[in-house]
Amino acid sequence: MSDNAKIPTFTPVRVEDPSGDGRWNFTIGEGSLALIAGPCALETPELGLEIAETVRDLCRPLGINYIFKASFDKANRTSLKGFRGPGMEEGLVHLARIGRKAGVPVLTDIHESWQADSAARSVDILQIPAFLCRQTDLLLAAARTGRPLNVKKAQFLAPWDMKNVLEKCREGGAPSVMLCERGTTMGYGQLVVDMRSLPVMRSFGCPVVFDGTHSVQMPGAAGNASGGDRRFILPLARAALAAGVDALFLETHPCPEKALSDGPNLVPLGKMKFLLEQLAELHALVRDRLGMPSLEWAEEDR
């Protein structure tokens, strides 16, 4: 490695129970696998709690750190007729209650800068949607809350473009940031995952998340809604773990065919046990025997 090359200091993400009760306290980026999972949009608080408790109970014996995810408002629906969720005021109340009842941290996405403070008072991690990852005011507002951030790479960006996004968040005061791969636009209605993006983004010094749900999405394929093909979630997630990621993002629903948003690319809740058992085993192999892949392996002085 040349004398001028500098490897950024790696900053893991600490997820802490703000109540001080210690219901959860874990770190993303120091070896353990984390899972961000839940419905696409929050349909009802009862359904959200059912999913949170089910996935929590699947994760515990596998040693997976679980974060419940749901959106209070999906502001980027394909059609005006698409289900968006309960809205911010009601949705944040429900999300906070689900987190307390299930005893798990909660993540939700925000679409506008004025939503950041309110969301940060109710949930533990803020997510920036892929379409909005270059919106400076949104990034800075989220960063100022002091909450950990999960920023999704836009479908139209190269992985190295996310370095500037990360620097905006850090300079804005974000204590810790994750970058999330969710596929890149290949053509009309199709996405492709370039596995090179995972070590590239991790080389910036932050944990990397792989979104298996939206990577199999087919934007606009259903006319007034997005399509998808959930069959490819498992092989893509397995490949991402082999390439080296710190967390997985998987949306799930007891009956995807009846889900009010993103049904074709949701993991059936009844299949999560099979999926997670495979992924936990693969992660343990990478972590304990192979080690996290690094772009520096090919340098002459290593």
Question: Quick one: which of 247, 246, 236, 109 has its CA closest to 184?
Answer: 236
Q: Are 120 and 110 in contact (CB under 8 A)?
A: no
**Angstrom distance (rounded) from CA 213 to CA 226:** 12
Interval 183-233: pLDDT, tens: 999 877 789 999 999 999 999 999 999 999 999 988 765 555 667 899 999
In sequence order, the β-bridge partners of residue 184 are 192
179 vs 298: CA distance, rounded Å? 24
Q: What is the pLDDT of residues 76-88, one digit of tens each?
A: 766 666 677 789 9
Tokens of 100: 């307390």
Question: What average pLDDT does range 22-41 have in this prediction?
Answer: 94
Q: What percent of the chain has pLDDT over 70?
A: 92
Q: Give the mean model confidence (pLDDT) for residues 172-181.
A: 97
Q: Which residues contact 116 (CB under 8 A, 6 or more apart)?
A: 110, 126, 138, 141, 142, 144, 145
On whether the CB atoms of residues 29 and 13 are closer than 8 A, the answer is: yes
Residue 217 CA to its chain's centroid (Å): 15
Name the nearest CA neighbour of 86 among 98, 94, 77, 76: 94
Tally of CB atoms within 10 A around 292: 15
Q: Is the pLDDT of residue 3 over 50?
A: no
Provide the pLDDT for residue 300: 67
Mean model confidence pLDDT for the chain = 91
Please report the pLDDT score of residue 291 as a whole number: 84
**pLDDT at residue 47 above 90?**
yes
Q: Regarding the domain delimited by 32-292, which CATH topology (the fold level of the hierarchy) does it fall under?
A: TIM Barrel (3.20.20)
pTM, rounded to two decimals: 0.92
Residue 128, pLDDT > 50, answer yes
pLDDT of residue 262: 81
Contact 205, 11 (CB under 8 A): yes
- Amino acid identity at 4: N
